[in-house]
Amino acid sequence: MARDQATTTISPTAFAIGAPVMVEDAQAVIKQLNWSYGHRTCQLHVSQATGDAGWVTGGVGTTWIKFRALSAGSIDVIKLRIRLAVEDVSLVCAAECNFASGETGEVKFTVGSASATIAFDNGDNGAELPTTLTVAAIGGTGWQDVTIAIETTAGNVGNDLRYIRLQTTAITSALPAPLNE
C-alpha cells in the first residue's frame, strides 16, 4: 500500500506566531530522540545479589549459592529467559564469587547458542568479573534462554557465588550523527 503524499504546501498564514503547531506526548518524543541519536541506556535483564546468614558483618541478602566439591562437576544454578531488543549489540555477563585461599572455580553463562566462562580464585574476592557476548553469537534478538552454571576447579571448601548480572551494553557506533540546524 502506497503512502499518501501531500499535493500542496501549507500556507504560512495558517499559523499564528507562538502557537503550537503540533502536540506530542513528551515521553514518546524523548524515546524517539534517544533512539534517533543513540542516547539509549543499557537494559538490565537480571541482577541478583545474595549474602549468608552472617550478613550483618558480611554481604547483604539471604543465601549464597555454594559451589560443590571438586569431583562433582558443574551444575546449573540459575535458569531464566531474557528478551534482547533489535538495537542490542552485546550482552555483559558478570559475577562475583568468594573463594578460600588456594581454591578456584568457574561461572559459565550460556545465552542462546553462545557461552562464556569466567574463572575465579581467592584474589578475585569482592570483585565483579565481566565477560561480553555479542548478540550475533547468541543467535539474534528476541527471547533467549539463559543458564548460569558453577564448577569448582581446585579445592573442596564451600566457595560461594554471591552476585550475577546480565546487562546489554550501550550502543556507541553505527548511528547517524545528530543534524546541526
Residues 62-117 have pLDDT tens digits of 467 888 888 777 888 889 999 888 878 889 999 999 888 889 999 999 999 999 99
**Position 6 pLDDT exceeds 90:** no
What local confidence, expressed as pLDDT, does residue 132 receive?
94
- Give one word for 135, left, alpha or beta, with left for phi > 0 and alpha for psi -120 to 50: alpha
- Give one word for 87, left, alpha or beta, with left for phi > 0 and alpha for psi -120 to 50: alpha
Question: How is domain 42-168 classified at the architecture level of CATH?
Answer: Sandwich (2.60)
The pTM of the full predicted model, rounded to 2 decimals, is 0.67
Give me the half-sphere count of Cα atoms (radius 13 Å) on the Cβ side of residue 149. 15
CA distance 157 to 70: 9
Give me the half-sphere count of Cα atoms (radius 13 Å) on the Cβ side of residue 68. 10
Amino acid occupying residue 167: Q
Mean confidence (pLDDT) of the chain: 76
